[in-house]
Structure formats: C-alpha cells, structure tokens
Structure 1
Amino acid sequence: MDSDRRKLRSVEAIGADRDAGAWAARVLDGASLVVAGPRGSGRSHLLRGISAEIARLGGRAIVLHTASALTQQPFGAVDAAADPALGMLRTPSDDHTVMDGVLIVDDIELLDADSARAIARSVAARRLTAVLAHRTARPRDVEAPDDAGGARRGLRDLWVEGLARRVDLTELDDEDAFRLIDVFPGAGLLDSPTRAALVWRADRSRALLRRLVLHAIADARVGRDPLEAFRTIAPHSRLAIALERHMSEMPAEDLESLAGIRRLPHLETAVATRFFEVHSLHALIARGLLHADPSPERRLTANDLIAQEAQRRLGVSRVDALVDAAGRRMLAESDEWWSSAVAVTVAQRWHRLGPELSGEAAHPPAVRARIALDAAREANDRGDAAHAAAYAARGLRSADVPALRLEAELAARARVPVGVGETDDGGDIEMRRRMTRGDASDEGHDWRGETSHDRALAESRVDDLLAQASRAGARLEWTAAAEAAGRAAAEVSAAPAARLRALVAAGTAEAIAGCWRRARACYRAAERMLDSRYVDDGLLARDRLTALISMLAGHQIAGADGAVVHARLERELARTAREGDGAELSLAGAAAAIAFAGAGRAVESRRELASAMSRTPSAVADLDTTMIELSVAEELALAGRFDDARAIVMRLDDRGIPLLRRSSLYVQTTILAAEGRHDAARVAARGAAELTRGRSAAALRIRDLFRLTALGAASEDEVDELVQLAATTDLPLAAEAVRRASARSTVEEELPVDELRLHALWSTRDVRRQQPDAVIDFPRPPEIGAATAELTAREHEIALMADEGLTNREIATRLFLSVRTVESHIYQARAKVGAASRRELGRMVAAEAERKRTTTQPTAAADEGGDKNVGSPATERTTALPARRDGSTPHSSGVKPPAGAATHLTRRE
C-alpha cells in the first residue's frame, strides 16, 4: 500500500515545471519563488515536494499554513505557526538579519494583510527566501474582491519587480491524465470508456481527477457503473466538496448554459444561441466544458459532472424554468424553427403532467403529433421501447400519422424476443429499424426532411444488401458476402453513414474471404471518411464506433497488425465520452475488447466487454457480441484462465448459425489443448474444419487447417490445401501458418498452447512513433531492459532457444531437462516480463541480448572475420515440401508456396 501511495504521489505532479529537486536547489541558493496555477494544477503537491527536497539537501523549511479563519486576524498565520524564526516578521529590525530557513506559504490569498506585508517587505529586503503559491483564475472566472487592498498583491508582484522567480503550473492534459489514472491502486477495474469519461469530467484538474478516480474505483469494486453513479453524488462527500471548490468562481451565465444544455442534450448550436449567451457558449466550447460534434448543426453536449454541479448551484426550479421557456418558444415559433432536442423535453413534460396540467390541448393536433414523433424516435433509437410506445400512443390520439404508427410498431417489436429463425441476419436491431423506416418512408409524410427520395432509396438498397451480406457471412459464404457488400459500397448516392457501413462491411468480408488487398482498399476509403473534416450529414459516434468494430475484427481475423486502428479507437474514445450515451459507450467497450484481444490482453478484454454489455447490450448486434465474446474466451484460454474461458463458451448459444458453431468449436480447441486434453482438442478442431470445408472463408479455413496440422490430425490432402490457400491468398496469416506448421517436429507429442495463436500480437510502440498525437491508454509490455533483468540464467537461456525456433522438446533434449520443466520455466519467465506468448518472450530476451552485445562489443563481428551471412536464417531457408503419395510435390500443380515458408509439412502418424 505504501508503494502504491508513493507511485501515486510521484505522478501527481506530471509536467515540465515540476522538478521539485531543481527548484529546491535554487531556493537554497537564495532565489525566492512565486508558484502560480489554477485550482487543481498541483501547487500544493509541488510545495510539499520542494519542502521535502529542502530537508533532504540539509536545509530548513518553515511551512506557514493559511486558513480562512485566520484571514481577519493580524499576523494570524504567523502566530499559528509558532516558529521562533518568524518573530522577525512581527518586529522588523534594521540589522539586516537573514532568517534561517526557507519560508513556504500555500494559498497566499488566505494570508492576513499584516503577514502579507511583512513577508513581501522581508523578501524585497533580501532578509527572507520564500516559496509563495497563489491561485490564478481561469478565463471568465469571477475573481473574489481582495479585501486586503494591495497587501497580497505585493506578494504576487514580487516576480514582476525581479525579486522572485515565477513558476507557472499548467492544467492537466489528457495524456498526463491517463498516466495518472494508471497508477491508482485498483485502476484495472476501470474500462476504457470510463477512463475517457473521467478525463473529460475532471476538467483538467488534478485534484478533481483524483477524487473522480477514487470514487469510480469504489463503485466498480461493488459492481456499480461509475458513470451512472456520478449522477447522484452525496452532498458534502469529498468529491462533492472538490467539485464545489473547482466551480466556485464560475459566472452565472456559464452555469445556466451548462445546466440548460445538460437538460437539452445534442441541442443544435444555432438553437442554443436563442436561449443562452453566445459568448458563454463559445467560451465553454473553447474550454472544453461543452462539446460540439462534427455535424453541420454542431450539436452540443455538456460535461455532465460540471453541469450537474451548475444545476445544484442554480437550483432545480431555475433550470426547469429555462427548459420550459425553450419549449414554449419553440411551440410558438414552430413555423420558423424546430429542434428535436427541445421537442423531446416538451414530450417528457406532457407525459409527466398529463393533458390537463401541461396545456398540451392548446396546441394543434399536427404539432402535438410532431412532438410525439420526435420523442418516440429518440426513445426507440436509445433502446427505450416502453417510452417510445407511450409517446407514439399519445401522438396517435392527436393525429393518425403513418410515421407514428411505425414507431409504435418498432417499439412493440423491440419488446418481443427475437425467435431462432430470425437471427440469421445477426440480430442487428438497429439495421432492422433502419430498414423498416426506409420501407415505410413512402407511405406517409416524413417530417425529418433530411433526405431526398433518391437518397432514401439508395439507403434502403444499402441496408438490403448489407442484410444479405450478413446472412451469407453467417453461412460462411464470404465470397457472396463480399459481393453483396461491394454492391452496397457502390451506392454513391447514399448518405455518408450508409456508405461507411457498406465500406467496412465489404472490407471485413473481403478479409475473411481471403483478399487482404481489397480489404485494405475498403478500409482506407472508410478511414478517409472518418478523417473528413466535413461530411454532408455528419457521422455520429455510433456510426464511427460501429465502423471501428468491423475494422478491428477484420484485422484480427486476417492476422494483420491492427495497431493503427487501435490508435484511432483511442482518439475516438475521447469523442465518445463527450458525445455518447449508454449505447455509444457499449459500442466503444466492444471495440476496446477486440483491441485488447488483438494485443493479447485477455483480462482487459474481458473487462471491456463486461462493462459494455452492462450498459446497453442491444447497441451491439447479437452476432457481433457472440463473436467478440468468443474472441475474449480464446485469449483467456491462451492466458491460462481455462475456467473463465469455458464459462463464456458454455453460456453462448450458436442458434444453429454455422459461423457461430465453427467459432465455438475453434475456441473449445484452444481450451482443451490448454488443459492438456489433446485428443479432445483434435476432435473439436476436426469439427470446426468440417464446417469450413468447401466454404469461401479462406481466413477461417487457414486457421482450421493450421490447427489440424499443429495437433497432428491433418490428412495429406489438408496439408496440400493449406499450402494452396497460403499461396493463393495475400492474408498476413497465410505465410505464417505454413511456416509455423512446417517448423513443428513430427515426433513432438505435446503442443504449447500459445503456439495455437496464429496472428501476431498487435504492437503499440510503433504506432506512437507513426502517430505521435495518438494517446495510447492500453497497457503496454514492460520495457525490455527492466523486464528481462528479473529472469534467472536458466530462464534467459531457454527464452533465447525459443527465439531460435526450437520446440520445448528440443530445448529439453539439449539441456537434459524434462519437457514439463522447460514449460514451467517459460511460464514463469512470461509472467515476469509480461510476455503474452512464448514467441513474445523469446523476442524480448533476444532483443535485449542483442542490445547489450552491440553496446559492449561494437566491433566483435569485424574481428572474427569470415562471411557474416554464413549460417544465417536467410541463407539456410529452403522450400522443399513433402512429396505426395504419387511422387509429385505441391510445386507440380503450378502453385508455389509463400516466400519464406518453412519445410516438412507432414501428417503425423
């Protein structure tokens, strides 16, 4: 616990101007300091660090504690310190006596006037060295009047007159905030969307972030969603007090803007300026307390935590009056302008008060129906079928509008469990809702007025084609899925969100079908849309996250390094924390679960998925959810958590869908192999391979054939098929499958379970170099030098042999050890260095050994002489493949193995 606290304190003062040791040395040389920074910038922490460093360097620090209770008492702070050395401040003399020690004062604005004058006079006379900290105001803050005249101003202005050095502390930036979260004990309980939300809610304050993280960890420990728990903060709790102090100088117009937009989420900026001060809105957006999404309407969302405190300070009745006034004005001016965000609040008020008290009956039936339609649509999109049905029924009593009947039908469908026969399209509720609205758009007047007739037809065709692609993929017919998705991507007249869905669906289908070149082309087109500064209709957080889920899954299935998409997700998480609600947070968690799985971080992947499903599980399509859960189970099994992996597999229902059935058997193979039940693993692997036999799912088929070969259960025809697939596809995993399978010994009886992982673990360091603006929050492996230093000599030796490609049995033979002993050494070494696999362990140890060799013996290779290429893997690589029974080789068919493929792919007898 003490070490955790020390780590926490060491990171609290992150920043370029926070070297307490350097500042302490300057102070001991006689230079006074004025430390300035807003509330929460770490002033107090820096002063504590300087005090400790002064003591460590042999100096004396005299700390003067300030307090509100002493402000009106002459020399109140000086007398309270009770230090004899401070007597010179009360009774100044002319003998130029220099005080022994350094005076340290935090919050000089709380000093009484007499103490402030005495300290300023002594510093100016060079009789006193002091470190003085004062709180600066943020832009637009209302600064409290200084009732001590120029006394405290004299202290603040010491640096202006050259009598002290000023140190300005900046506010917390996002990258430092993520680093700070990581060192809190128990931070591993917090999922990625929660962390991003905490960083935004902290408003760049270290003090507030500390309280938020501690509060969130406590909630997570008892199974509560931290973001939901923040909606009800206990009065006078530590978090409530920190929040109150953080907002103590905020002007009233800013409080109104924040509290009002919190009650009117996603309010268009042009509409917001009708109710709130324009300068206040722009200032809050610039500061980051309001977020404007990238749509043309620039829809606004407020920092929920700060806005909640703003409402508390204003009073609920005052905020209610603001919102009600906005609704009345919209209804009175409905011919001129309309806002769905305001309409929803009007519908909520009418729903709560009823027709008699709300005054609903005073408005025309068409207006009442329009209000109900906006509210029903918003509730259906949010997954709240009960309220959607209530709003639709209320509107239909006013006017029989086809669009309202449609929303009522959608709400009724959402409350009925989907039958087994209806899950062939993956159970994508959102897709079915879009298709239903598209089919009915011609039946009645569409009040949205956002799309033309041609665009509506194009979007309908896109959804139809994507539904076909989903059904084909579920049947493992991925060539047909790619063809249908490709046709959807060709619908250039569709809205940007529809085109984005089509592009990523086509890319993922092409990846599974075996054409990585076409998949990357689709993904690059999708990335250009995501990076576009301006899109006609805008892309909502839900659209962007759904695209990232497909792209992450495509990279993982193809065996490609998805670190670049991973970094994009990191940037997207910050936007989701500002724009999204429960559905968007669920999508973000699902995407993070895939990213963690691709990086081999099984525990974190499970945490992300569990948090996502606890929010709005319907936001993620059923088929996608099941596939992500199986991916998490796979990584858990590879990490040795067999019970957790088996629990996931046992609770999942494949519902007769071939894709889910094959994926379930694939994961069961890993679990059984990890448990040492190799015969059962071969049976499961055979079952998965039977489902992909003859299907157009090259990426899945290569994995299944690789496992059969690695487990010694592949026939000669299947070995040939693996070579053929590797030669005719450009998937990153294809060549690796042949190389790995052919490198295995035909006499090796047991298989290390981490050798079943075919895709390379995703990197993170390379992404940071390629994209320096990316904030990588996911845990990274330890630094190589620090990690490998903990290995024993035997563990180091075995890791180097593993890097050379030796199997566990070959290592055991060379070192005269048992295979079990070798496996035990590898397991312990992986745990010490944080390596996710046997190969990763070998790579880390070999890299460190090479670094030491080149550092200590830079000319060793030149001294030895000879051809440096002799015996290198590049010169010894061969391509001789096993002969078929008829004496021919795979080359006789005209198909060449992939470059660099290893040799001797054979069936074990």
Structure 2
Amino acid sequence: MERTWPLTGRDDELRRVAASIRPGASGVVVAGPAGVGKTRLAREALTKLAGTGVTVVWGHGSTAARQMPLGAFAGLLDVPAGYTAETIGRALDQLAVRRPLVLAVDDAHLLDEHSAIVLHRTVVRRLAPVLVTLRTREPVPDIVTALWKDDHLPRLDLSPLDEAETTGLVARVLGGPVDSASAHRLWTLTQGSPLFLRHLLAAEVSAGRFTPASGIWRWTSQPMISPELADLIEHEIGRLAPGVRDVVDLVALAEPVAVSTVSMLATPSALEEAEERGLVRTDGLVARLAHPLYGEVRRTVMGALRARRLRGQVAVTLPAAPDPIPRAVLTLDSDLPADPALFLEAAEAATRLFDLPLAERLARAAAGTGAPVARLVHAAALSWLSRGDEAEAILRDLAETAPSTEFRAMAQVHRTGNLLWTMARPEEARQALDAAEASGALPVHVAAMSLAVAAAAGDLSPLLDRGPQLLHEDLPDDLARILVASAVSAAAALTGRRDLLDEAAVVGGLTADRVPTVIPGFGLADLQVLGHRLDGTPARGDDQARRMRAASADLPGPARLMGLVVAGHAALAGGRVVEALALLREAWAGLADSGHEFRFRCRTLLATALAQAGNAAEAAPLLTGILMGQHPAYRFLAPEDLLALAWGAAAEGSTTESLDRAVAAAEVARESGAPAFEVLAWQTAVQLGDATSALPRLMALAQLGPRARVACAHARAWADADGERLLEAAEDWARLGDLVAAGDAAAQAADAYRHQGRQGSALSASALAVKLAARSGANTPALAIAVRPLPLTAREREIVELAARGLPNKDIAERLTVSVRTVEGHLYRAGLKLGVSERTALKDVLGLE
C-alpha cells in the first residue's frame, strides 16, 4: 500500500521545533520512544528552511558508526585522522565556514565520543542552531545529556499519538472515515506509534482485511503481523533469556496475569528482569505486556504445543468464580481436558456481556457432550449472530428429542424468536408458538413470546390487555422479562403511555444503574427510545441509549452495531442529525450486507437522517430498499418507514409526494391504533408545509403528551401564518429537544413575516432558523425557503426544484400527476419571475449543489 503519510497531530510540536532552528535560535532536543515520529518531525521542520539559504548538515548516530571517531559525520565533514583535539577543532572549523547552518543529529543516544563533543561545542559556542533527536529509555552519552540538563537547549518530549490523533491520521491516509471500533483496535495495538501504525495498516489493507464498506473503512478480522513489522518489534524486544522468555510468553497468552502466578510459573527474578527491560509492566498485583504488539509477535512465533502447555499452566491457577471466562478460554485452548460445565457457565457469562462470538465458541464446546441446556445456549448464540439456519437445526431437534415437556416447550419458544426475528419466517414462527402453547408447559414464557409476536405484527389489543398484568407478575428469568418488557414498551410507545413505558424499562432491566443482560435488550432500548421520541421526552431515551452503547462499545459481533443503531436513533430523536449520521453510517457499514434484522431499523433511521440533512442521493438507495419491503418483525413500525419516504421526497424537492407520504403515515398510524405515531406524522406534515390537514387531528390528540401539545401549537401558528407564535413553537421545540422541528418553525416564521412585509422580523427569524440548523445539521425545505426566498408560488418552486435536479418534464408531470403542458407553463412563468431562461441555471438560483 503506497500511501502518503501526513504529519498529523504534531502541529504544535512542529511549530516549536521550526521556531527553535531559525537563525539566531539555539536549537532543540526532541526525545521519545522508538517509532514515535521524532525523525519525521525533524525532517518536516527542516523542510521549512528550503529556499532560505541555510545549509543543513544531517548527522546520524548508529551502532556501526559508533565505533569510529566522528562516525556520525562520516561523509559530511572532510576531517583527516589525527589527535582528538585537532580532529574536533577541524570539524568545528568546517561547520563554521558553512554558516548560515543548522546542525541536525538523529539518534544522538548512539553517538561516538568525538561526534558528541562536536555536537556539544557547536551548541555552547552558538555556531549554529542544533536539532537533536534521541530515544528515551536508552543510555545517552553524558555530554549529550548535558545539553538540556545544563539548560543549553530545551527538550521536547514527543508522546505517542492519542486515539483521536490516530483515528484522524488513518482517515487521512485512507481517504475516508474509519469505523470507530477499527480505529480503536489500531490505536490499542500500536499504542499511537506512527511507525508501527504505518506497517500494520499497510499490511492489513494489502491483505484485504481492512476494507471500505458503505464508504467507511472497517477491520474485518484479526491482524496478521507482517515480517517487516515483526522484525521491528523483535529488534525492540531484543534477545530473551529462557526465564525472561517464559515471563513474556505467559503474559502474552493470558494477560492480565497475577504477579504471583507469573513468579510461580517462571521465577521472580525473571519477572523483575522483564519489567526492568520494559517488556512487561505491573502494578504489583497483575502483569501486562508493555506493548500489545509484543504479544502479537510472541504468539505468532510461539509453537502450538508450547502455547497450549503454558495456557494450561495458567488456567489451573485461576478460580472459576466469580468470572469463569478467563479460565474457560485458557482451558479451551490448552492441553487440559475439556470441562463442559465450565464452558457452559462461561458461555452464559459471555452472553450477559453481549460478547456473542465468544459465547458461541464456548457454548459449542460445552454442547459437545449433547447436553440439552448447552445446546439451547449454543442455539441462542447462533440465532443472535444471524446464523438462523444452524440455530433452527438445533432447536428443531431439541423440540423433538429433549427429555422433558418443559424443555421441548422452551425449544419451541426459542424457535419462535429465531424464525421470526432472525429468519423472517413469520408463519413458521406462529406454528412453533402454537406448538409451545399446545404443550401446556411454561405458560409464562409462552405468554411472553405471544406478546412479543403480537407487538411485531402491530396487534396492540392483547398487549394492552395482558401486558400490564404480566409486568407485575413474578417473571421466571431474563428471557421472560425482556420479552414482556419489549412488547409492553412497543404498545406504550405507539399509544403514548409513558407510565407503562417507564414500568417496562424497569422490568427489562434498563434503569439508571443497569442494562439488560441478554441481546434482545437492544430491541428493548430501541423501543424505549422510540417511546420517548414519540412522547416528546427524547432526553430520557438518550440516557438509555448512551448506557447501551457504553455496554457494547468494545465488543466484537453485532452487539456494538446494535448499540450504534440505538444511539443513532436517540440522536435523531433529539434532532441532532449530524451526530445521528455518524453513528448510523458506521452501523450501516457493518449491517448492510449482514443477515441481521437490526439492519432494517438502521436503514429506516439512516434514510431519515440523510433526507433531513438534504442528502437525497445517498438516501435514495435506502429508500428504494424500504419500498421493496420490510422485516415481518417490524410491521408495527410501518408509519416510520412512510415518514422516511416523506423526508426522502422532500429532500428531492417533491413537496406533493412528501406530504402524501406524511398523510399516509398518519392514516396508517390511526388505523392501527397508534396515536403517538399519528402525532409525529402530522407534525412532519406541518414541518413540510401543510398545517391545514394536520390541525384537526392534532387538536384531537393534543393531550397525549408534550410532543402532541407543541405540535398542535405549531400547526395552529402555521395555519394562521402567525410569526410570533411560530417563534414560540420554535422555542418550545428546542426546549423539548427536537432541533429539526425548532429550525423549521423558525423558518416558517420568517416566511410568514416576509409575506406580511415585515422584512426585519423575517431576517431575525431566518437567522434563528439558520442557527438552529447549524446545531442540528438539518437542511429541510422550510429552511431552504427561509434562507433563499424566491418570488414563486409553492407549486412553481416545487416544479423548478425538480427540474433543477435533472428531472425531465414528463417525469415531473408523472410524479405530480399533472400534464406535461402544466409543467411547461409553471417553468415558463417561474423563468420570467427569476430572470432565468436556461434550465441549467435553476440549480444556482436554488442554491443546490
């Protein structure tokens, strides 16, 4: 991978070094660990001297040159052999005649005595500014150390790049945004070393393991250390005596490892030597490698038999409680006998931590004995990893062969979830649920799954009849609790029952100090965010989403992506479009080509955010996907799909279609008994310009919650073209937490004032709309009208915008269900009003990109 590596994150240091080597300055010592970019920084600073007439003499310390007097300047200074004083004097004389000069010395910790003296005297005599680099944690000649200890030169200690700087550097090198988890892994492995980062990234990109998906670069597998990087790291590690090698390898395989364990399995003196050499670090209790890449290299070169033996030695020292995972993982990869009971306990613990790849691996090992419980845990992990066919094979067999009626019923309950959510086969899911119910066993689990299936279909009656009662029953386990809580949350969200929404959150384990312990908890969190979004309390949902994302941020598998979707939904609910786009784009990069059902949620939310940002082109393929069909488990969210299509049409300039979609969403919500969704749909219609149609229903629903009350006030003000009340609505929306609606209300106030001839008030309202849009990142039709008012009717502006976006007259006519002649007439009159005769000029008039 031949890519240009910019100097990122070093702006302040570069300015300081460049200032230190200007004529008249004394110079600077740049110190830091290997690979931190000292030489690169020095070279960048020296390039700023180009064209100034200053000569640069660049000396290099090295192990080989250290054996020769003035070895650092070999080939640079013509000094014959002779007495030491005479030789040094001649070297200084030759430097003096080259002035104006900058003396640069790289790796000054490796200087021979003569070169070090020349460097020191150049500084003391102020012959020239001096730029010195040296490596920390290495012995340095005393005369070089004296440069900063005796205050001859300032010392600049260069630290590794932090995570944000690393992410920015990688994005600049790759030419596009980087998935946050991938960037975090890169930073964690390289510890911010630009040298290690360059080698690791180059190898991973070249091997096709670091690739772009949906415009975002992602690391899709474990790293393979290239020979070049391995050589660099092995050189830094150095030769390892047998005892020290044992310490490093033990820690590489099992870190963090108790100091007592390492001392017992190796020797205390070997551990002390490894710490002194900077190979491991300890806090007195546990030992870790000093650099993560040390472990990658040692695990690569270590023999399989040695690795298995060492893992087994560590495993037997670890307790199985309270955390069985470390012992189970080491045992599984060691030469110890299999321990199915330990593997099962650890698989359940990994599931509670949302680490599904690890849970599946451990559960598979536990299920090797054929134990039904282990097979059930394995099937659940497979299902949540979108491996539905494999899960179905296990669950179908358990439903037929399990030793008890209760266990067969539980297998059918799990089949129902796998068939509906993972495999999108609702009819078969219904059959599995019927079979579970017919068994007469596990009535609470069956009732809980029945509620979840009803919620997915949008059948709210049984949810409201049976759900509140089940919430107050003594539910037997996490599965029953999450199913009931999710189903009731869906009903509460759609009907505006905030009290029921809050009760469901508590039962599901989503509280201020807890998060759910099973993967369906992300679905519960999404429904809670939806409920608070529809109610008009988005900050509550934001808190819940933040906790779920924090619980899954560093995990492999789908949990992290689901956390991103929930967090993106919360940002969208608060009108923070830019934030929502960052989260949802990253989630989509991982979900788009997966079989995971959360991709349907991500698709709708991302399409909405893109459309609200005015990015019609990027939203278009997502909107096409929505039109092609929805997941059967998300039928109750049909109004949200229609609202995404409404915003998409608005972003394309089709006001008529956008309003039709919003009204259709309101009608679907009303027919399905979802008044809270109906409020959001009518609010969207108001934002898109139609208060007249929305006002009657918003008046009828005004007492449903905070959103309904503000939406009704907004509709009244817009219907009356009352600028003052529209500004009040903008304030109410901002206070409630919907920045997009706030910006639209302010923009509509500007339009109302302008039509009343109140230009000063219009300019103030427009400025407020622009300010709110800057906070949200939205670019809506209302804002476009406020920022760029034109002497056109609403229909003329719509047709002009569609034409400016490249639609032929025939396509415009079909989209608006009017004749081609009508379109031509509107375009002709609009051209006269705007003073435009060419179709291509319309885009500039409208300010379209």
Q: TM-score range by the shorter chain?
A: 0.5 to 0.7
Task: Report the counterpart of residue 13 of structure 1 in structure 2.
Answer: 10
- CA deviation digits over 1:757-783, x for unaligned, max 9? x9879999x9xxxxxxxxxxxxxxxxx
The answer to whether the aligner puts 1:806 opposite 2:751 as a matched pair is yes
Aligned-partner Cα distance in 2 for 1:132–1:844: 55
Task: Report the counterpart of residue 562 of structure 2 in structure 1.
Answer: 587
Distance 1:507 1:660, change over 3 A: closer
Unaligned runs of 5+ in 2: 383-388, 397-411, 424-431, 437-441, 722-731, 760-768, 790-849
The answer to whether the aligner puts 1:154 opposite 2:143 as a matched pair is yes
- Asked if structure 2 preserves the Cα contact closer than 8 Å seen for 1:211 and 1:242, the reply is no
Q: 1:635 aligns with which of 604, 609, 624?
A: 609
The answer to whether the aligner puts 1:256 opposite 2:233 as a matched pair is no
Task: Report the counterpart of residue 587 of structure 2 in structure 1.
Answer: 609
Distance 1:93 1:214, change over 3 A: closer
- Counterparts of residues 257-336 of structure 1 (less than 5 Å): 257-261=250-254, 307-312=295-300, 314-327=302-315, 329=316
- Asked if structure 2 preserves the Cα contact closer than 8 Å seen for 1:106 and 1:134, the reply is yes
Q: 1:93 aligns with which of 78, 89, 94?
A: 89
Amino acid at match of 2:253: G
**TM-score, scaled to structure 1:** 0.60
- Counterparts of residues 404-415 of structure 1 (less than 5 Å): 404=374, 406-407=376-377, 414-415=391-392
Aligned-partner Cα distance in 2 for 1:811–1:184: 53
Give the Å deviation of 1:173: 2.7
Give the Å deviation of 1:136: 0.9
- Asked if structure 2 preserves the Cα contact closer than 8 Å seen for 1:231 and 1:305, the reply is no
Identity of counterpart residues, as a percentage? Answer: 19
Amino acid at match of 1:600: V
Q: 2:369 aligns with which of 390, 395, 409?
A: 395
Distance 1:561 1:657, change over 3 A: closer
Aligned-partner Cα distance in 2 for 1:243–1:493: 53
Give the Å deviation of 1:28: 3.7
Distance 1:745 1:405, change over 3 A: same
SS in structure 2 at match of 1:653: coil
Give the Å deviation of 1:701: 1.3
Task: Report the counterpart of residue 895 of structure 1 in structure 2.
Answer: none
Task: Report the counterpart of residue 896 of structure 1 in structure 2.
Answer: none
- Asked if structure 1 preserves the Cα contact closer than 8 Å seen for 2:662 and 2:685, the reply is yes
- CA deviation digits over 1:20-41, x for unaligned, max 9? 2576247643434222222243
Distance 1:58 1:33, change over 3 A: same
Distance 1:377 1:604, change over 3 A: same
Q: 2:702 aligns with which of 708, 726, 730?
A: 726
SS in structure 2 at match of 1:92: helix
Aligned-partner Cα distance in 2 for 1:721–1:480: 25
Task: Report the counterpart of residue 427 of structure 1 in structure 2.
Answer: 421
Q: 1:701 aligns with which of 660, 678, 691?
A: 678
Aligned-partner Cα distance in 1 for 2:788–2:147: 55
Aligned-partner Cα distance in 1 for 2:14–2:144: 23
- Asked if structure 1 preserves the Cα contact closer than 8 Å seen for 2:59 and 2:72, the reply is yes
SS in structure 2 at match of 1:167: strand
Amino acid at match of 2:110: L
Alignment coverage as a number of residue pairs? 704
Amino acid at match of 1:174: E
Aligned-partner Cα distance in 1 for 2:455–2:194: 51
Distance 1:291 1:178, change over 3 A: farther
Give the Å deviation of 1:47: 1.7
Task: Report the counterpart of residue 884 of structure 1 in structure 2.
Answer: none
Amino acid at match of 1:655: P
Q: 2:718 aligns with which of 740, 743, 750?
A: 743
- Asked if structure 2 preserves the Cα contact closer than 8 Å seen for 1:25 and 1:54, the reply is no
- Asked if structure 2 preserves the Cα contact closer than 8 Å seen for 1:481 and 1:509, the reply is yes
Amino acid at match of 1:13: R
Task: Report the counterpart of residue 31 of structure 2 in structure 1.
Answer: 36
Q: 1:370 aligns with which of 325, 331, 341?
A: 341
Higher relative contact order by CA 8 Å / sep ≥ 6: 1 or 2? Answer: 1
Q: CA RMSD in A?
A: 6.4
- Counterparts of residues 737-776 of structure 1 (less than 5 Å): 738-739=713-714, 742-743=717-718
Give the Å deviation of 1:803: 7.6
- Asked if structure 1 preserves the Cα contact closer than 8 Å seen for 2:494 and 2:531, the reply is yes
Task: Report the counterpart of residue 234 of structure 1 in structure 2.
Answer: 226
Amino acid at match of 1:514: G
Aligned-partner Cα distance in 2 for 1:629–1:48: 47
SS in structure 2 at match of 1:159: helix
Task: Report the counterpart of residue 356 of structure 2 in structure 1.
Answer: 382
The answer to whether the aligner puts 1:173 opposite 2:167 as a matched pair is no
Distance 1:125 1:371, change over 3 A: same
Unaligned runs of 5+ in 1: 138-142, 350-357, 361-366, 430-435, 441-456, 747-757, 767-798, 815-825, 847-909
Task: Report the counterpart of residue 134 of structure 1 in structure 2.
Answer: 134
Distance 1:382 1:657, change over 3 A: closer
- Asked if structure 2 preserves the Cα contact closer than 8 Å seen for 1:116 and 1:155, the reply is yes
Amino acid at match of 2:159: T
Q: 2:65 aligns with which of 70, 74, 77?
A: 70
Aligned-partner Cα distance in 2 for 1:96–1:234: 44
- Asked if structure 2 preserves the Cα contact closer than 8 Å seen for 1:592 and 1:608, the reply is no
- Asked if structure 1 preserves the Cα contact closer than 8 Å seen for 2:489 and 2:500, the reply is yes
Aligned-partner Cα distance in 1 for 2:500–2:85: 79
Q: 2:621 aligns with which of 644, 666, 674?
A: 644
Aligned-partner Cα distance in 2 for 1:528–1:34: 54
- CA deviation digits over 1:102-159, x for unaligned, max 9? 211122133334322332344345555422111113xxxxx5xx6xxx7x34212321
Give the Å deviation of 1:634: 2.3
Aligned-partner Cα distance in 2 for 1:313–1:195: 26
Aligned-partner Cα distance in 1 for 2:548–2:322: 34
Amino acid at match of 1:91: T
- Asked if structure 1 preserves the Cα contact closer than 8 Å seen for 2:650 and 2:780, the reply is no
SS in structure 2 at match of 1:187: coil
Q: 1:689 aligns with which of 666, 678, 687?
A: 666
Aligned-partner Cα distance in 1 for 2:260–2:534: 45
Give the Å deviation of 1:675: 4.6
Aligned-partner Cα distance in 2 for 1:321–1:461: 47
Aligned-partner Cα distance in 2 for 1:741–1:669: 22
Higher helix share: 2
Give the Å deviation of 1:425: 11
Task: Report the counterpart of residue 48 of structure 1 in structure 2.
Answer: 43
Task: Report the counterpart of residue 109 of structure 1 in structure 2.
Answer: 109
- Counterparts of residues 331-350 of structure 1 (less than 5 Å): 339-347=324-332
- Counterparts of residues 339-738 of structure 1 (less than 5 Å): 339-347=324-332, 368-371=339-342, 373-374=344-345, 382=356, 391-392=365-366, 394-396=368-370, 403-404=373-374, 406-407=376-377, 414-416=391-393, 422=416, 427=421, 468=451, 471-472=454-455, 475=458, 477=460, 484=467, 488=471, 512-514=494-496, 553=530, 556-557=533-534, 565=542, 569=546, 576=552, 578=554, 580-591=555-566, 593-594=568-569, 599-601=576-578, 604=582, 607-613=585-591, 618=596, 622=597, 624-638=598-612, 639-641=615-617, 642-655=619-632, 658-675=635-652, 681=658, 684-693=661-670, 697-708=674-685, 719-731=695-707, 734-736=709-711, 738=713
**TM-score, scaled to structure 2:** 0.63
